Amino acid sequence: MYNPTVARLTYRGLLGRRRALILFVLPALLLVLSAAVRMLTGADDNTATSVLGGFALATMVPLIGVIAGTGAIGPEIDDGSVVYLLAKPVKRPTIILTKLVVAIGVTVAFSAVPTLIAGFLLNGNSQQIAVAYALAATVASVAYSAIFLLLGTVTRHAVVAGLVYALVWESLFGSLIPGARTLSVQQWSLALAEKTAGAGAVTADVSLPLGLTLLTAATVAATWFAARRLRALTLAGEE
């Protein structure tokens, strides 16, 4: 269920040329920000949660998820070169799973790892905050990659659709309508962070079992549906 050649091509498509640049800029910004905050205010758990929760988990992880998830398949469908891939004797679910693995790898490497380092920079992992947010970023990366990979197969405007979900639904509606928070990857992953971190350090809107169930369900359903979409793919010309 894993094809190294497809993986290599996807990896090159994601990180080749200058594309890796934006993926490096975001984590670098987070680290600079954390270092600056640490120097300005000293180690403080509240500041750490506000930087890690407000910037890392709420903005950086979804954005890198969008770039990696849709970038793993979107451009190929967009320029039509996916037919050469589909014409090879490789099962479509294998293609999707391989691309998912690569997307997850890239998202974790560029979001969860910097989150962990930023956490240590901010308060030296007091109350396990750094580890908690890194864990949350990891599970969120998995779910985001699967969802945005699905979007990449469904629509040509996958990046915009993904951004609308990540920014408008999670940030805007999440802060206005409490109910919207139950249906957000961010909150599901925060449930895990809440359990890992010291008591009261992190708050989430969903309980841990519900969060984990929804995370798994969303990931599996998105992957299955993406494979299904790829089997029935029709190629359209540029509008």
Partner 1 sequence: MPPETRTPAAPGRPQPAQDVIHNIGYRTYDGPRLGRAYARRSLYSQSLRGAYGLGRSAKSKVLPMILFGVMCLPAAIVVAVAVSTKLNKLPVDYTRYALWLQLVIGLYVAAQAPQSVSRDLRFKTVPLYFSRPIERVDYVVAKFAAMASALFVLTATPLLILYVGALLAKMDFSEQTEGFAQGLVSVTLLSLLFAGIGLVVAALTPRRGFGVAAVIAVLTIPYGAVSTIQNIALHSDNTTAIEWLGLFSPITLIDGVQTAFLSATTSFPGGHGPGAATGAVYLLVALALIAGSYGLLMRRYRKAGL
Count CB-CB contacts under 10 A for residue 91. Answer: 13
Shortest CB 238 distance to partner 1, Å: 7
- Choosing from 6, 27, 57, 71, the residue that interacts with partner 1 (CB under 8 A) is 71
183 is a site residue for partner 1 (CB under 8 A): no
Which of the stretches 112-120, 133-141, 161-169, 192-200 binds partner 1 when contact is defined by CB under 8 A? 161-169
- Which of 6, 9, 15, 37 forms a contact with partner 1 (CB under 8 A)? 37
Per CB under 8 A, 233 contacts partner 1? no
List helix spans (H) across the chain: 4-15, 19-41, 45-51, 61-79, 82-86, 92-107, 113-123, 129-154, 158-163, 174-176, 185-196, 208-231
> How many residues belong to the site for partner 1 (CB under 8 A)?
42
Contacts of 226 by beta carbon, 8 Å cutoff, 6+ apart: 96, 100, 146, 149, 150, 152, 153
Using CA atoms, how far apart are residues 88 and 228, in angstroms rounded to an integer? 17
Question: Distance between CA atoms of 128 and 101, rounded to whole angstroms?
Answer: 28
Spatial CA neighbour of 69 closest among 219, 233, 179, 232: 219
Question: How many Cβ atoms sit within 10 Å of the Cβ of residue 132?
Answer: 26
Q: Tell me which of 3, 49, 70, 115 binds partner 1, using CB under 8 A.
A: 70
Q: Which listed residue (8, 88, 91, 157) binds partner 1 by CB under 8 A?
A: 157
For residue 74, state whether it binds partner 1 (rule: CB under 8 A): yes
State the residues that interact with partner 1 by CB under 8 A: 18-19, 22, 25-26, 29, 33, 36-37, 40-41, 46-47, 50-51, 54-55, 58-60, 63, 66-67, 70-71, 74-75, 78-79, 156-160, 163-164, 167-168, 171-172, 238-239
